[in-house]
Chain A
Amino acid sequence: MPIGKAAKHPVSKEKKTHSLLNLRHQLALMEGREQSVRLPFGVDSLDHALAGGLSLGRVHLITGNMLGHGAVSGFAVALIRHLQTHFQKADSNKPVVWCPANQHGATGMLYGHGLAAAGLDPSHILVVESPNPARRLAALEDIARTDGLAAVIVEYDGMQKSADYWMRLARRAQLAAEAGNVTVLLLGAPIPPAGFETAWHIAPSPDLAACSNPALAGRSIWHIQLQRARGGQPHQCHLSWYPNSGVFETFDQRTQAKTTPYEDLSVQGRLPLTALSGLPSKAVA
């Protein structure tokens, strides 16, 4: 439709959204997205941003700094636990293949006792040991074509490649994942998110309530940036996860900070408050 003509006869808003929805639907049909199963997180705002939930049998990118903290691995573990529960409901106990970074590096190796505590049975994880990230990515397509897997997780460390390389990788991995009906998670430093089904950036988030309440000590809180979601929209939130129940929840940083009494932040009641100089200014204020 020519621009001039549109200005003369403004289309009503309702009609516009309708035609947009129609177009989206047609695109989804072309991409075969309609068939894919979506696994909801149980968090309304996030599920809405993801257009129903995490789509299975796709390639998802989870980025973040893997050297300084375990948030990226933790989020991946939470996702896999969520997937496993989904498959267990369907009575199929599928294994997971995890290709971690070099176990002698600063990211560390997967630790079974910690995984077991996070509700993930380590005996269902096959670990592929290869110190070279390029070889791990080369094997990804092979692994993803193997049917009978719940998920494949590949860590690519901080491999420097062009945007074009990642785009091609995403496409090839996507085709393989569709062939094997396997959900693929790529973990590593931030890379161009084009071509991936969803792209996340995960960072840890301070949990001030847990300092005073030991019952909350087990939960993890992440600051989640959904940078890209096919069929959905970008989103940003603080998400908390309880390893005992495997439940996700949104977490409002400000209300939590306000309700937390300042005095309760001391470490086991032994540490003087001068030690808290490193608190984020937002939380203290």
Chain B
Amino acid sequence: MPAPYRHILYLRFPYLSASRIRRHYDADSPLAMIQQSRGIDMVAALCPRAMAQGIAVGMRLADARALCPNLATYDFDPAADQADLYHLALWAQRYSPLTAPDNDGVVLDIAGAEHLFGGVRSLLADCARRLCHSGLKPVMATAPNYAAAWALAHYGRPRQRFMAAPKEEGDAAMMVACLTSRARLRHHLAPLPVAALRLEPAVTAQMYRAGLRVIGDIIGLARAPLTARFGAGLLQRLDQALGDCDDSFSPISRPQPLCVYRHFAEPIAAAEDIGLMICHLAKDMAALLQQARLATRRLRLCWQYVDGMVFAKDIHLSRPSRDLALFKRLLANMDESIRPEFGIENSWMQAYDCSPLAPLDDALPHLAGHWDRADEDPYAGLVDRLVSRLGYGAVVRLAPRDSWQPEAAQSLELPDLSRLCCDNRRWLSTSSCQTASPRPIRLLAHPQPVNATALLPDHPPVRFVWRRKIYNIIHATGPERIGPVWWRAPKDSLTRDYFRLRDDHGAGFWVYREGLPERGERPVWYIHGFFA
């Protein structure tokens, strides 16, 4: 029975693990992912540069190191790869509603969706451009069925390169084949090895022994002897690849948020009614969350006018909660921002970013308030109110980080109140080691170069010019030497000597010289902060 019309796009990501490592660490050397198998370190994944050095997947690490001494190795993490593929499959829903992660790629059924992007060619070009921009180098193949697309993406010879940018030679997506009909399927599949049929390794080895190496060898053969010798699986796979029998994959869907509805028989417009509507929705949502044993961090209130227009408003919570009183308080001034216009017909509320929270209220009522009520912690309530007024991401807190680099020793983080209790000690403990020498109260996000005059190369400046203004220095303390993070920083980063300066008007500056004169480096002066 012939299969229905399908158009499958297979995106294979051969360098997925390496590109994840590159995103997290700014590594310069060739990368290899290592997996232990029977006590031997084996190469499980590679980056393109390691591949160019002659290293292949399945090689021993010792052999790989012999080929490429500066190989950087990381642990192979299949779970993280799968998680990445899942997110890529969700992202790929911009092209088609039917997508799924595969073991090393993403499958899309783009049948009927090509014209939305101006044809299959421009869809593929768009997809390749976006993926290459994010550093993933996909191998793409389209075919009328899943098995053929898989075979082409894994074993086909790349024919065409889609460039992310005309000049970048490295970042290009590889296009194997773009088959839209079954007519040329046989022609394209015939030269591929039999392993492209997704057979069991034992069957493949058996076929190799029998001299059947490529798919073209078995296409013309009689079916009965093949089944007798290699089992029914072979012919089923072959039929699937040639489109003679159905082959499917199960598409994933985005996890849907919890949702509660209110529909009105008559459109409502009065302010009290709108307030009541919000109140009811909040009550339903709190009950639903309670029932599902979940707590939310983001509520979305949507409403639809009689003319069909839908509006939405988000409320962010500083920590997961399902407390009705808290919801009501955050939604309290919402009814003012909803204009009734000609009336509201529908309204619904969705809960995003849910996390499990034990139903404390039922089991331990005396503890319930401790967890679920913001009143206990005035800080939490305050952050919630500020975030609901100023927008998500606008309210942050300064957090210390263990680093001697001044700009890296502090980060901005969203106020997460689950960690507040241990927080008070964090600054004091780290700052005790950090403030051995004084630190400025304001730090320039990017140090700015100044034109400084020092009497001797390793002396503090006596005068510097910053923003076309001359500062005459009367007092200097230092130097405090801070070296670059040699195990991670780029090669040309230099050691800094920090000086605390006071000018003749009494202003305090934190100025550093980058580069050591005694090493023959040409020193450059920068201003980095201001003292009180």
Contacts and interface: CB of A to CB of B under 8 A. Distances in A.
A123 B439 contact: no
A108 interface: yes
B472 A110 contact: no
A84 B162 CA distance: 61
A207 B507 contact: no
Contacts of A149: 382
B530 A148 contact: no
A109 B445 contact: yes
A267 interface: yes
B167 interface: no
A74 B426 contact: no
A204 B444 contact: no
A162 interface: no
In this complex, which of B389, B446, B531 has the most chain A Cβ atoms within 10 angstroms of its Cβ?
B531
Interface in A251-285: 265, 267-268, 270-272, 275-280
Report, as a range, how many residues of chain A touch the other chain.
35 or more
B424 A70 contact: no
A10 interface: no
B505 A123 contact: no
Given A69-B507, A113-B431, A128 B386 contact: yes
Q: Nearest 8 pairs between A and B by C-beta?
A: A74-B532, A278-B472, A70-B530, A69-B507, A204-B506, A108-B442, A114-B441, A111-B443
Given A108-B442, A114-B441, A272 B427 contact: no
A206 B505 contact: yes
A95 B389 contact: no
Contacts of B378: 148
B529 A265 contact: no
A142 B390 contact: yes
B385 interface: yes
The CB with the most chain A CB atoms within 10 A, among B394, B410, B475, is that of B475
A121 B386 contact: no
A256 B49 CA distance: 67
B460 interface: yes
B474 interface: yes
A106 B444 contact: yes
A109 B443 contact: yes
Interface in B430-456: 431, 434-435, 438-446, 448, 455
Contacts of A247: none
A207 B395 CA distance: 37
Chain A CB within 10 Å, residue with most, of B400, B440, B473: B440
A276 B477 CA distance: 15
A280 B504 contact: yes
Interface string B164-175: 000000000000
A75 B507 CA distance: 13
B interface, by DSSP: helix, strand, loop or mixed?
Answer: mixed
A128 B442 contact: no
A28 interface: no
Contacts of A95: 379, 382
Given A95-B379, A111-B406, 12 more contacts: A71-B507, A73-B441, A74-B532, A111-B529, A112-B410, A115-B398, A129-B412, A205-B505, A206-B504, A217-B477, A265-B475, A267-B460
B431 A117 contact: yes
A241 B473 CA distance: 21
Which size class do B's interface residues fall under? 35 or more
Interface string A229-265: 0000000000001010000000000000000000001
A48 to B, nearest CB: 25
A191 interface: no
Interface string B466-490: 0101001111110000000000000
B440 A70 contact: yes
Interface in B499-532: 502-509, 529-532
Contacts of A68: 467, 469, 507
A73 B442 contact: yes
A74 B441 contact: yes
Interface in A64-85: 67-71, 73-75, 77-78
A126 interface: yes
A127 B398 contact: yes
A184 interface: no
A77 B508 CA distance: 15
Nearest to A149: B382
A125 B530 contact: no
B530 A69 contact: yes
Nearest to A275: B462
Contacts of B460: 267, 271
24 contacts: A70-B531, A71-B532, A74-B532, A78-B532, A104-B445, A106-B448, A106-B467, A108-B442, A108-B529, A110-B442, A114-B435, A114-B442, A116-B435, A123-B426, A127-B412, A129-B412, A130-B390, A146-B386, A204-B507, A210-B475, A211-B474, A218-B438, A265-B475, A275-B473
Nearest to B453: A275
Contacts of A123: 397-398, 420, 423-424, 426-427
A95 B378 CA distance: 10
Nearest to B456: A270
A221 interface: yes
B475 A267 contact: yes
B372 to A, nearest CB: 19
A139 interface: yes
A279 B445 contact: no
B398 A103 contact: no
B428 interface: yes
B452 to A, nearest CB: 13
A97 interface: yes
A210 B502 contact: yes
A185 B67 CA distance: 65
Of the listed residues B397, B400, B424, the one surrounded by the most CB atoms of chain A closer than 10 A to its CB is B397
Contacts of A127: 395-398, 412
Contacts of B381: 148
